[in-house]
Structure 1
């Protein structure tokens, strides 16, 4: 699975900019703070993450979350990061009862602010199969185990930890920025990120860019690539939860009709699974980016990728064979809930199912809904859209894209072993989509180096290595300082905002 995950990342790489970006580093050349942390600081950093993992901030469903744990987490970060909470140029607000917004006021109001995102909540974690209890935060063999170590308390804690360490070294930013910590990302972010975004919009805030989770530095996923690759996702798929429902007159099971609500609904679902959404390979950026990646591979892969005019049908069929790569070339259809029946001897009057669609960037919710109705082609089946949103637009990656180039610059500085930094597409959904009204530049990147055995997001024995987490803190420490720099020739936003 991990091997194919890297294929996903690589196969969604957009144009890789080979040009060199020039940086104006005069702003902080004389006051740049090196990311050298003492042994005591590193130990405190690890212990802080362990403590965060021990608070079970679980989002169970749209109706149920562990609100006690969410409140406890708010108190916890105030204890662990006292400097962040008691610095005069930082304003802290609680939004939607459990989410947190930090406004960090910079000294130069001409520089447009940016946003760092992360989320506090985690998915449930039954203890079956875990080597250690999932909310223990135990350390074993150089790894910290527990739900949230990769998704996404590592980012919550790393952002605050990096800021705390900077403040202790008397750092004052020149560019203002926000930190938004949502509490319900795993259940769509409507009470957290959405409310924070609305609050910022009401204040007239426009962002230079935003950074959220969604991709990693990956190593040893493909034998053809000997060095790690950093993927910055610049878009994410859309989604739709669609309820299919069949109603009929109930009856006795001793004299069943030819078709029941269950059989009709089952046939509809079978139609959707036997007739997948169109293969979109060749539309959008995938074909172009494969051609541009060709030089990173040895023969015969590079020959195939350089000659997609000939090999496109072969590559397209190959991508369909695995669930992960298949998800990158089409809208996926996943039946996730089926409900029917009231008693063993009663023909059920109602059967309903929920289908989860992840919508390819080349399609829209409306297009997918119409395709679904045409595939099912049964008037007895009713369709009810429970939740839907279109894919996010592609964020810029050219030399004038401040957020992307800041990430790229920091990646090369902190991960010198990385051979390629490339933009890609996130097949999941993040809180970032709630901020599309504030910026065109949304970049999904979690500065953690993962090997195949470490990719356990939402899985059993989720973990992060101590070294990877320390590097993540270092990355954010450097990134915040880099954000005070400017790209040569890039005009900053003409808009002024009071934070």
Structure 2
């Protein structure tokens, strides 16, 4: 009897200890959640004027002007198919179009305009204070091809329906091209004279690598000994309703971008008449290899790269219990990554993605294909190396008949700073606050490739952000069918660059706005 009571007492003490430990553990999670301050998150300061000389209250006539200029740009089909197949006549038309819609820019004695590599543009805007390090705003003129029959409206018509402008380039990336120049045009018309010099670089072949446009613009600047304070390119946006548990819009400033590797898979076999087929054809062997890659994604790496900062910065804005989860990724990262991999839009943050983009095989309906070739594009998670990727591809396919060849590779870019001493990040953040005061501003990761890669020798502070508002249904429109942007959002984009140019004239950092959305 005494032994039984002793066992019961020990069991009770054990349960009490375990219960106490569990409560302590939960308390620790909650304390961390509500006191968590991720690295790089600046403390809020008292609200101060952003020092803007000119207000972006555009007149009705100016709003009509900016809309007409944008529509005209969208109607020029600057399509790039590959590095040697691009619409040179459209690029020439665009070159002639810009002076017509931005006369103040081209007439100003403060602005120098140069044509680079036949079709790209470099604008140098001279500031009054030569001691201030310049910055650069970049964008690209070219767009991806379209399947016109799938669109509801002609893709280069710039038709307006229900407050939206439809057309290839509305989201990628003529909104930046025209928004930057339109903002500068309105400032010059108002008599603005910048204190800090800056550059505008408009590449013509970003969609096919930027090896002629952006690369040559960067080379020209480097040959002149230019060092930049910061760079701002496309590559991220304002997300509306995309992040689960976040009721506010999230303005994501990408501080890094994924690298990529393009790999060729090829199989060569004998040929012959289709009436006497072999047990396995080159097409069948390659199809099996491709299927294996699609069914076996690369390993999850969430939390090991810059994408961690995005969710940690958002944690205080998320509903319970997501705020607890995101503030404690040291514990919940595996769970979060499994949830995120269910959607393409968030799966890209979790791992290196695998996309089979081309498949070539066969010469005639009754001839066994002697060879087959596929192209696979991998967008590399920042901590994933090419060597690791190739080893995993080889292991997944496990077929020596499939030849693996690297066609192109660019490693992920280093992460730029985003703390309270980072001039470029804080200027961009302050400008977002001017136009979108309720948005949560956070660092993040760009999952695509941009022209930013060519400017690494000019500055370490490389940022990617365009203030276009993206909802879940808009994501498929980028490079897809019925690409569009709201008229109101395009006006906000022009206002953003109008403010950004003025905010960048600060001798030192502007003070962050003291509102609830600041992080």
Deviation at 1:15, TM superposition (A): 4.8
Any conservation in 2 of the 1:16–1:423 contact (CA below 8 Å)?
no
Correspondence for 2:41 among 4, 7, 17? 17
Indicate the larger mover: 295-304 or 279-288: 279-288
Distance 1:214 1:114 in 2: 18
3-state SS of paired residue (2:113): strand
The aligned residue for residue 139 of structure 2 is 118
Whole-Å separation in 2 of the counterparts to 1:260 and 1:463: 44
Partner Cα distance (2:89, 2:509) in 1: 48
Instruction: Measure the CA separation in 1 of the matches of 2:505 and 2:47.
Output: 11
The alignment status of 1:254 with 2:275, answered yes or no, reads: yes
Contact 2:310–2:442 (8 Å) recurs in 1? no
User: Is 1:82 aligned to residue 134 of structure 2?
Assistant: no
Are positions 1:53 and 2:77 aligned together?
no
Cα distance between partner residues in 2 of 1:198 and 1:437 = 9
Return the structure number with greater relative CO, CA threshold 8 A, min gap 6.
1
Q: Is the 8 A contact 1:21 1:405 kept in 2?
A: no
Shift of 1:442: 0.9
Paired with 1:96 and 1:214, the residues of 2 have a C-alpha distance of 23
Are positions 1:432 and 2:456 aligned together?
Answer: no
- Cα 1:375–1:147, aligned 2, differ >3 Å: closer, same or farther? same
Match of 1:73 among 47, 70, 94: 94
1:495 paired residue number: none
TM-score normalized with structure 1 length: 0.89
Summarize deviations over 1:111-133 as a string: whole Å, max 9, x none: 11111011111112222243322
What is residue 467 of structure 2 aligned with on the other side?
Answer: 447
- Structure 2: distance between partners of 1:485 and 1:291: 29
The one of 443, 448, 461 equivalent to 1:423 is: 443
1:55-454 to structure 2, matched below 5 A, reads: 55-222=76-243, 224-287=245-308, 289-418=310-439, 420-454=440-474
Which structure shows the bigger proportion of residues in helix conformation? Answer: 2
Distance 2:146 2:509 in 1: 48
Contact kept? 1:92, 1:103, Cα under 8 Å:
yes
Q: Tell me how far apart the structure 2 counterparts of residues 22 and 482 of structure 1 sit (CA, whole Å).
A: 17
Counterparts of 2:108 and 2:418, CA distance in 1 = 34
CA drift at 1:377 = 2.8
2:510 and 2:150 map into 1 onto residues whose CA distance is 54
Change in Cα spacing, 1:457 to 1:195, as seen in structure 2 (3 Å) is same
> Aligned partners of 2:400, 2:249: CA distance in 1, in Å?
52
Q: Which residue of 2 aligns with 1:34?
A: 55
**C-alpha distance after superposition, 1:169-223 (max 9, x if no partner):** 1111111111011111111111111111111111111111100111112233357
* Corresponding position of 2:31: none
- Secondary structure of the structure 2 residue equivalent to 1:476: helix
The whole-number CA distance in structure 1 between the counterparts of 2:363 and 2:120 is 40
For normalisation by structure 2, the TM-score amounts to 0.86
- The answer as to whether partners of 1:59 and 1:186 remain within 8 angstroms in 2 is yes
Q: Distance in 1 between matches of 2:438 and 2:313?
A: 21
Query: Residue 287 of structure 1: CA displacement?
Result: 4.5
Q: Is the 8 A contact 1:339 1:353 kept in 2?
A: yes
Using a 3 Å threshold, how does the CA distance of structure 1 residues 355 and 478 change in structure 2: closer, same or farther? Answer: same
Residues 15 and 289 in structure 1, CA contact (< 8 A), matched pair in contact too? no
Q: What's the CA shift string for 1:270-326, capped at 9, x where partnerless?
A: 232233211112322445653453221122222333444554432222222222222
Q: Relative to structure 1, is the Cα distance of residues 309 and 79 closer, same or farther in structure 2, using a 3 angstrom cutoff?
A: closer
Aligned pair in 2 of structure 1 residues 328, 267: CA closer, same or farther (>3 Å)?
Answer: same
Aligned equivalents of 1:461, 1:52: Cα separation in 2: 17
Larger Rg: 2
Give 4+ residue runs of structure 1 displaced > 6 Å after superposition.
Answer: 21-25
Match of 2:33 in 1: none
Structure 1's unaligned 5+ residue stretches are 1-13, 491-499
Instruction: Tell me which moved more, 291-300 or 61-70.
Output: 291-300
Contact 2:430 2:510 survives alignment (8 Å): no
SS in 2 for 1:355: strand
Unaligned 5+ runs, structure 2: 1-37, 512-519
Residues 154 and 313 of structure 1: CA distance in aligned 2, closer, same or farther (over 3 Å): closer
**Residue 291 to residue 414, structure 1, CA distance change in 2 (3 Å):** closer
Q: 1:23 to 1:191 in 2, by over 3 A?
A: farther
Task: Provide the secondary structure at the position in 2 that maps to 1:128.
Answer: helix
